[in-house]
Structures are given as structure tokens and as C-alpha cells.
Amino acid sequence: MLRLQARAEPSRWWVYASPLLALLVTVLLGVALFLLLGKDPVRGLAVFFWEPLRSGYALGELVVKATPLLLIALGLAVAFRSNVWNIGAEGQYVMGAVAASGVALLAEPGGSKWIVLPLLLAGTFGGMVWGGLTAWLRDRFNANEILVSLMLVYVAVQVLGYMVFGPWKDPNGYNFPQTQMFEAATKIPRLFASSRMHIGVLIAVVGAALVWVFLFRTRAGFAQQVGGIAPAAARYAGFSSRSALWTAMLVSGGFAGLAGALEVAGPIGQLTPYLPAGYGFAAIIVAFVGRLHPGGLILSSLLMSMFYIGGELAQSRLGLPQSLTGVFQGLLLFSLLACDTLIHYRVVRSKPRAALASAAGAH
Amino acid sequence: MDAVTLQSYALLIAATLNAGTVLGLAALGLLINERAGIVNLGAEGMMLCAALAGFAAVVHTGSDVAGFLAGALAGGLMATIFGVLVIWLNTNQHATGLALSLFGGGFSAFAGTSYVQEKMPERSSFAIPYLSDIPFLGSALFKQHPLVYATIAFTAALAWFLWRTRAGLVLRSVGESPESAHALGYPVRRIRFASVVAGGVLCGLAGAYISIVYTPLWVEGMVAGKGWIALALTTFASWRPVRVMLGACLFGGVTMLQFHLQGAGVEVPSQLLSMLPYLATIIVLVLISRNPAWIRINMPASLGKPFQP
Amino acid sequence: MTDLQLRSLLKLAVIGAAASMVMVGCGKKEQPPAPAPAAEAPAPKPEPLKIAFAYVGPVGDGGWTFAHDNARKALEKEFGDKITTSIAENVPESADAERVIRDMASQGNKVIFGTTFGYMETMMKLAPEFKDVKFEHATGYKTAENMRTYDSRTYEGAYMNGVIAGAMTKSNIIGVVASKPIPEVIRNINSFTMGAQSVNPKIKTKVVWVNDWFNPPKETEAATSLINAGADVLMQNTDSPAVLKTAEEKGKRAFGWDSDMTAYGPKAHLASAVINWAPYYIKATKDALEGTWTTGGVWWGVKEGAIDVVSIAEDVPAETKAKVDAIKAGLKDGSFSIWKGPLVDNTGKTQLKKDEVADDKFLSGVMFYVKGVDGKVPK
């Protein structure tokens, strides 16, 4: 019978073969799914993996969608590596967007483009405040951060609703719940005229580099992660678990808030109740598939973005239901988690139980 | 207080019990696997798939019992996948649970597209004879679906099981220290697996209840976050069955209260009212967790940690 | 992860991507080459007009989107092979809508119907980029050279529902499960109330806000709380049959909305206020096919066949049914106006003077409750 045996040290080969195997498993399951639905599997795969790469515009859209995912995932990588489970990034994203909208609404028509800077800072700050709230409740009251951050997501969505239905409602908008369109000056500068890509991409890449430096080249980053892996050792070495908690929540909250600010002042251009798009939760998958490593996150955010866009195209081109995206994303994460086992364990044939028990002898 | 207002309070209590059963049943299931040391963040996904399975079963067979069985089966199946990954392949519990939720959400939406327009045979209403005729209490307490009473009975049974039986003691000790339990010769991984599956079955029943009784139709995402709230409930009820049910009813009550207040013409912004259940959860969570010693005493010590013999 | 591992991962990712692209590329080659044209080719048939629909919800919602899709099917029946239609459902009212609608426009669709308010800014943005595409936007208010709006006078259906409700209620409390506090919904609440008052001046209306267009569990809870508060006839402005089902379970009555919902609650169902988008879709398609398309905006009601109240229950008294028919006739020939003064709101302020008829501008901005509705309009 087969069982798992721990390896002496993690298998280097499987570290990079595992995601590939997981992707392959997902693709195979996808093919089976397409066949079950009576659709041409090759065309189905083309829609998911080829169409989103086909033209300059398509690549631009891929990047536009990947940017918020990457930003949030970077923050989550820091948090998860510290064993701080911030599940509420969606709420921090929303609050960042709300804060940024507050600044955007102050803009005058024809005002200076430099308003973008305080706008992004406000968004980052808004996300940090919301993340900090979770940190405070855990620090002061020991409240579990998973549940608190999750509950705060629902609260954030209601705050958003209140603002767009009430104080910030567009006075000329026939009472529809949304703010006015933001002044042109607040629009996040684009990289190219022909695409919706904006400087958020650059910020994300720079952010990835900074996170990499922090995690792998600074003492603070090291202390942060040790607290996550071995709390007792961390305490012995004098690394504060308290500062690790706050750093984790503020960094992940800040990144999420920044993503929210970029989305609301970039592709959307106004604050609407439809802002929460689930990026905060999708970023969790991105973080894991990217192995919580900035380089991996860049790749996994693009992959996840491809799934999203492919799912949309599968709808309009192939008539497949939109929920297929969620299925693929979940399958990918499952496969990855299963395949990752092979990094730390190998599969061996073992003797039947009875023989083992007698070999082990009496305790 | 006039008869209409009195009656409306009775009905509010009834609605609270109804809403509380959904949360409570799922939370009790999660309590079982958390007592063994496994946290299953996939509750939402399991409940969604079970809701679809239950609904589909009733549509095809016309039998509510078949629907509940299908829901329980769906929940158990998903929990099995989770259990194999987490217990035998030692994958990260949080990530695997999240994957289960996300996959369950997508899969139920996907498989359910053809069921959105379907209707079940006419729903029956329930009332305990004689008891339901008592003024006020009758409407408040005795006109519920049988599963509501079963859940209350189960709460008591679970409390008795955990603290008064040997099997319950073993379960709790596996949750406190799997290493010690293993040293004593108990099949830790099998016990944990059984608890995960049991948790899945109960979440499945709760999910089926949503689509068969609570809102008798199918629409994607209809569980609407109740799985996550059930997870919160186990923590803030300190992993004790009776407190879980009380918490579930509290939460259900606050949810119904916001609509009751709106209907009564109370002038608070509706978004603030909608926030109430979640704020209430946070507040209670904070109050419960304030004392770290309390948490240490109550939380199963090995919760979330992998075990590899 | 070390740098070596990262580089290897990158290499393998590139290889993986390349592999899948090769696989797909091979698949493409297998498509049969275009057949060589015959020697005497028949006169080419005109290319069918490609029409696309963007839906905010699922076709299976049994309400709003379902009504649009039914109209689309009627369109196919009417025009046969002169047109082809395609749909995208669950397109969120957010930045993603731009990608979907842009894709529709780039795929050769010449008429695009955006069936919800939230697509307005997106369509306004895309209209100048795709000048040869006609953008039709439902329930909005911005137009462009190649974009126009269309909407339906749902308040007419709400009024007729009210007439039936006023006749059927025994507790004199009627309830509305409302979605979001925008003028359209408030107008419907008011029209429902005014219709009921016209046959039963004693009624009171209670309103509960779900803050969502489509959320069956919340709609159920809202309906339950209205029933608990004493309402025995319910109307909804939300998109699912949950309210009707709840009424069915609790032995109360309710109305279907947007589509005929009789099947969801046969005992509870009093009538359904339906929207029939087919007359407008047929007109719009005709305009596009014949080249008579001009920008503007229409707001159609019973007169144009866009609104109706159907499947009125057996036990509604004959005189009430007759009144509803008379209202329909009056709306069709213009002799009857629902929003006609004197009209007082529930704070005592006069909104319409005696015999004053509200114009469309007034109706678009209604943000007050008429007398008889409990509570304040949420800000």
C-alpha cells in the first residue's frame, strides 16, 4: 500500500515541477469539463490561454486585470509568511477606494494632475487604517484576525453603500447611487494611449521588488517571517511578534488600499456600489499559487487574470457559463496544494500495518 | 401592546429560530472538526454545493428527505476531499479550506445554471399539534420545520457526547494534543478524518435547509456568507455546542431585526442596520477573546496545526 | 525560494506557455480550408445583422434578465435569418463591463443592448470608438450620436397592482420589498400606494429596503418581516421570485414582477406586472436594418405594449378586474393619468396641484413618499 514518507530535505525538482503539474492537471480537468459540456476542448483552451494574449490590446487588458491582484497578493504574501491570516483584503481594498474617492471628489475641473499623488496616498492610508483595525483587535483583545478581517469586509461594503447613497451621491445623477465621474485630472496616468494599462503596473512591479528586498535581504523581513514559522524561536531571538502582526496588517492593508485607489481612479473613474469585485479573495489564490514569492506572484497574477478574461470570453464566444472561471481557479489551487505535497514527501510502498506494528514493538 | 404588535414579536422570534438553525447546524458541524484540531474554511463552498444538491434532488424526486440526504452527501463528499488533502497529504489547512470555498462557489454556480428556473413541489407548513395553538408562544416556537427541533436536540446530544462520553473525550484530546493521543495508541488521523466528514455532513444539511426550506429555490451564491459566519460562531462560542446555538440565534435575530426595524419605520440608514450582524459578531468576538487565558483554555490547542506521525 | 529556483520556475513557465500555444496552434491548423468559390456563385445573401445583449444577471433569474431574454427570443422569431443574436450574462456593472462590451463591438455586432443602468459610462466611452455600432442603453439618461436610451413605465404596472392590492387586502397593510432607493423604485412604491388608495383609502404601505437588485435570501427575510409587521399583500421591486414564494408559504398574497411569476406561487399570486421588451427591441432592430436609426430616448408603457398586468387571479372580484381593464384602456388612449394632482407627500407638502399632470421630468426625480407610505425615503 502507498504511503507518504517525509524527505530528508525538500525536493528542488518538485519545487518548480509542482506548479506545472498542477496547471497540467487543471488543464486536463478543464478539457474533460469542455467535453462533458459538448464544446470543442481545443477551442475552449484557446479562449482561455490564447485569446487573452493575442493582441497588444488583449495583453494590455491582461495586465490591467492582473495589477490589482498582484498588488494585493504582495501584501498578503508578507502577511501569510508571518502567519497573520488576513482574509479581509477585500474590505481594505474597498476602504482604500473610498478614501481615494474622497480626495478625488475634492478635485477642481482643470486642476493639477498632481492630485493623483495624494489620491494614491489616501487610498494606501485608508487600507492601512482598515487593516490596522484588525491588528488592533488582535493585539489588544486577542480576537482572531481571520474572522475579524472577514467581518470587516461586510462592514466596509456597507460603508461604501452609505457613502454612495448619501453624502457622495452625484447631485446630477438622477439619484442613482454613485458619485459623479471624477475629474479628468484625477485619472491615473496611462502608459500607452491605446490601452487601459496605467502606472499602477509600474507601481506593482516596483512593489514586488521592494517586497522581495524586504523579505529576503533585510533583518526586519527575516524577523517577520521567523515569527511566522517558529514563534518560540522568534521570541527567544527577541523578535517582537507584536510588531510582526502590525507590520503584516499595515503592509497588506496598505497594498490592498492602493489597489483600490488605482482601480477607482483608473479604469472605473467613479465610486459605485459595484466596486467590490472579489479581488481581495482572488488575491489569496494568487498568493498561494505564486508561492508567496514576489517573482512567483507576478506570474500567478497574470495566470489568474488569464482565467478571468478567458472566462468572460468563453461566455460571449462559446456560450459557456461565467461561473467556469471560479471552477478553474478553485481547481488550480486544489491541484497545486496536492502537488506541493510531493516537495516534502515522497510516495513509497510500505509493508502492511501488522508487520509495522510488530516491528515498532510495544511502547 | 396591541395584538398585531405582539404577534409581530412572536413571528420575529420564530424567524430568528429559523435563521439561527441554518447558522447553528453548520457551526455545530464545524465545531466537531475544530474540536479535533482541523479548521475547515471551506464551509461556504460545502454549503453551496449541498444547497444545489438538495434542491436538485427534491426537483427530481419530489421528496424532501431525498433532498436532505443529497445535501448531506454533497457536504460529506467535499469534506472528504478536504480531509484527504489536509490530513494525509498535510497541505496547509487554511489554503485548502479557501480553495474548497472558492471551488465550491464556482462549481455550484456552474452546475446549477440549469436549475435556476426550476420549482419544487409545494412546500408544506409545519405546526406541532396543540402546542402551536398557545397564544404567542405557539407562533413563536412551535411552528417550525422538524429540522429546527432536530438541531436543538442535536446541540444537547453533542454537548453530552463531548463531555460525558469516552469517545468525546478522545476527540477532544486529539484536538488538544495529537501527539499525546498518538502515543496512547489512538488512530489520530482517522479520528480527525471522521470529524472532518461529520462536519461536512452537517454543513451539507444546513446548506440543503437553505435551498429546500429557508428560501426554497436555487440561485448561485444563495448561501450569501452564512458559511463564513458559521466559522466565526464556533470561535466566539468558545467551541461549546450550547453557546454555538445561542450565538447562531443571536446572529439570526440581529439579521431579522434590521428588517423588522425598517418595517417599523425606524429612521436609521439601512446600511447601518445591514452592518449590525457583522459588528455584533466582532464585538462578541472581542469580548470573548479579551482574556488570553480564556482562549488558551477553550481553544483546541492543535487547531490549524498539521500532524504527521 | 532561491534565485536559482526562481529562474528555473520562470523558464518552466515560459516553456509551459509556449507548449500550450503550440498545442492550440496545431489545433487551429486542423480547421478545414475555406471552400473554393463555385463557378456560378448565387447572388450573396446579405450578412445577417449581428446583435448582442449584455445582461447584468443570469437568464434564469425569472425576473429582469429573463424578461429581456424572452424579448430577444421574440426578436429572433420576428426577423428569422436576417439577424443573429448572442448574449453575455452576469456582466457586472463595473470596469469589467468595458471589456465585455468592447469585445462584442469588435466581434462585429452592430447593435448592442446594455440592459442595466450601470453600463452607462462604459457605453458612453465606447460609443465614439465604434461609430458604426448602435448602442442601446436601458434605464439610463446619457445619449450620444450612436447611443440612445430606452426604459419602461414600470410605475403603470405598479399602479394596477395597487388597485388589486387595495381590493384584496384584509389587514389594510400592504408591503413593498424594495431594491435600491432610486427614483424609479420610489415612483413604483408611490404608484402602488396610489392605486390601492383609489379603491381603499384606508390602506397603509410599509417598505423594506434590500439594497440589492437580486438577493433571494435577503428578499425572503425582508418579505417575512413585512408579513410579520401585518402586511398581507406584497409587491416587490427586486428581480427574483423569492418574495412570492415567501408569501405562498405564509398564506399571504403577492405580485410577480418583470415576468409572469404565477408558477412560483400559484396560491399566493394575484397578478404579475410584466415588462415586454419585445415591441421596443423589434422597433430598434427595424431601425438598424432599414437605416432609420436616430438617437434619443424612449419611455414606453402600456400604450406601446411594453407594460402589462397579466394572470390576474381567479378570486379577484370582477369589478376590480374591470377597473384594471379600464385603466389599461385609459392609458392606451391617453385619457387616464396616474400622476395627476392633487398629490400630497407624507410630510404634508403638496407635490402636484389639483388637475396638474406630472411630466416626465417630474417623474424622473421623484424622491418623496406619497401620503399613506410609512417612513422616510432613505438618503
Domains belonging to chain B, first-starting first, are 3-119+130-298 (1.10.3470)
**Prediction pTM value:** 0.80
- The percentage of chain C sitting over the pLDDT mark of 90, rounded to a whole number, equals 41
Which residues in chain A have their CB less than 8 angstroms from residue C364's CB?
174
Place of cell 484530546: B173
Nearest residue in B to C241, CA atom: B217
Separate counts of helices (H) and strands (E) for chain C? 11, 14
Q: Are C173 and C203 in contact (CB under 8 A)?
A: yes
Place of cell 397564544: B135
Determine, yes or no, domain membership for A274. Answer: yes
Determine, yes or no, domain membership for A224. Answer: yes
Which residues in chain B have their CB less than 8 angstroms from residue A146's CB?
41, 94, 231
- Type and span of the H or E element at C210: none
Give the gap in angstroms from C-alpha A175 to the nearest C-alpha of chain C. Answer: 6
Compute the mean pLDDT over every residue in chain A, rounded to the nearest whole number: 83
Distance CA C232, CA C237 (A): 17
Task: Say yes or no for a CB contact (<8 Å) between B116 and C214.
Answer: no
Give the gap in angstroms from C-alpha B266 to the nearest C-alpha of chain C. Answer: 7
Structural domains in chain C, CATH included, are 49-152 (3.40.50.2300), 154-274+308-364 (3.40.50.2300)
Which residue has better confidence, C7 or A156? A156
Task: List A residues 52-111 in contact with C (Cβ-Cβ < 8 A).
Answer: 53, 61
What value does the mean pLDDT take over residues C248-256? 90
Distances (CA, A) of A24 to B6, B90, B97, C94, C251: 62, 22, 22, 32, 54
Task: Say yes or no for a CB contact (<8 Å) between C224 and B216.
Answer: no
* A11: contact with C, CB 8 A cutoff: no
Give the gap in angstroms from C-alpha C320 to the nearest C-alpha of chain A. Answer: 35
Task: List B residues 221-240 in contact with A (Cβ-Cβ < 8 A).
Answer: 225, 228, 231-232, 235-236
pLDDT digits (tens, 9 = 90+) for A143-179: 888 888 888 998 999 899 888 877 888 777 766 777 7
Set of cell numbers at residue A356: 509495522
Task: Say yes or no for a CB contact (<8 Å) between C12 and A20.
Answer: yes
Q: Are C202 and B261 in contact (CB under 8 A)?
A: no
Of the candidates C209, C211, C228, which has its C-beta nearest B260's C-beta?
C228
Query: Residue A362 — pLDDT band, cuts 50, 70, 90?
Result: very low
Per-residue pLDDT at A221 exceeds 70? yes
Please state, as a whole number, how many other Cβ atoms lie within 10 Å of the Cβ of residue B6. Answer: 13
Determine, yes or no, domain membership for A2. Answer: no
pLDDT, residue C378, reads: 75
Per-residue pLDDT at A58 exceeds 70? yes
pLDDT digits (tens, 9 = 90+) for C94-108: 777 888 898 899 888
Give the gap in angstroms from C-alpha B44 to the nearest C-alpha of chain C. Answer: 15
Pairing of strands A345-349, A2-6: antiparallel
pLDDT, residue B42, reads: 92
Range of the domain at A254: 66-188+202-292
pLDDT, residue A250, reads: 95
Interacting residues of A180 by C-beta distance below 8 A, sequence separation 6+: A105, A170, A171, A172, A173, A270
Q: Are B98 and A146 in contact (CB under 8 A)?
A: no
pLDDT digits (tens, 9 = 90+) for A97-109: 999 998 888 877 7
Determine, yes or no, domain membership for A16. Answer: no
Subunit partners of chain A (3 or more CB pairs within 8 A): B, C
Which residue has better confidence, A145 or C379? A145
Query: Residue C284 — pLDDT band, cuts 50, 70, 90?
Result: very high
**Strand (E) positions, chain A?**
2-6, 345-349
Cα four-point dihedral sign B5, B9, B15, B18: negative
pLDDT digits (tens, 9 = 90+) for B48-60: 999 999 999 998 9
Distance CA B191, CA B26 (A): 20
Residues forming a β-bridge with C151: C299
Nearest residue in B to C373, CA atom: B265
Which residues in chain A have their CB less than 8 angstroms from residue B90's CB?
4, 341, 344-345
Backbone angles phi, psi at B267, to 5 degrees: -100, 60
Is the preceding omega at residue B121 within 30 degrees of 0, hence cis?
Answer: no
The total of structural domains in chain A comes to 1
Return the CA Rg of chain A.
23
Of the candidates C374, C373, C366, C376, the residue with the CA atom closest to the CA atom of residue C196: C373
Kindly give the interhelix angle for A294-318 and C95-106, rounded to the nearest 10 degrees.
50
Set of cell numbers at residue A323: 461561473
Per-residue pLDDT at A353 exceeds 80? no
Give the full edge-to-edge strand order of the sheet including C83-88: C83-88, C49-54, C111-114, C134-138, C147-152, C297-300
CB-count exposure of residue A194 (10 Å: 0-12, 13-18, 19+): exposed
What value does the mean pLDDT take over residues B135-164? 87
pLDDT, residue B295, reads: 67
Of the candidates C8, C95, C104, which has its C-beta nearest A16's C-beta?
C8
Task: Say yes or no for a CB contact (<8 Å) between C9 and A299.
Answer: yes
Distance CA A20, CA C15 (A): 10
Task: Say yes or no for a CB contact (<8 Å) between B123 and C248.
Answer: yes
Task: Say yes or no for a CB contact (<8 Å) between B8 and C230.
Answer: yes
Of the candidates C9, C27, C211, which has its C-beta nearest A16's C-beta?
C9
Determine, yes or no, domain membership for A95. Answer: yes
Of the candidates A272, A277, A278, A281, the residue with the CA atom closest to the CA atom of residue A160: A272
Task: Say yes or no for a CB contact (<8 Å) between B95 and A330.
Answer: no
Of the candidates A323, A334, A338, which has its C-beta nearest B109's C-beta?
A323
Which residue in A182, A274, A303 has the most chain C C-beta atoms within 10 A of its own C-beta, making it the best mutation to test that interface? A274
Interface confidence: ipTM more than 0.90:
no
Helix (H, G, I), strand (E, B) or coil at B221: coil
Distance CA B83, CA B189 (A): 10
Give the gap in angstroms from C-alpha A342 to the nearest C-alpha of chain C. Answer: 16
Of the candidates A87, A155, A327, which has its C-beta nearest B278's C-beta?
A155
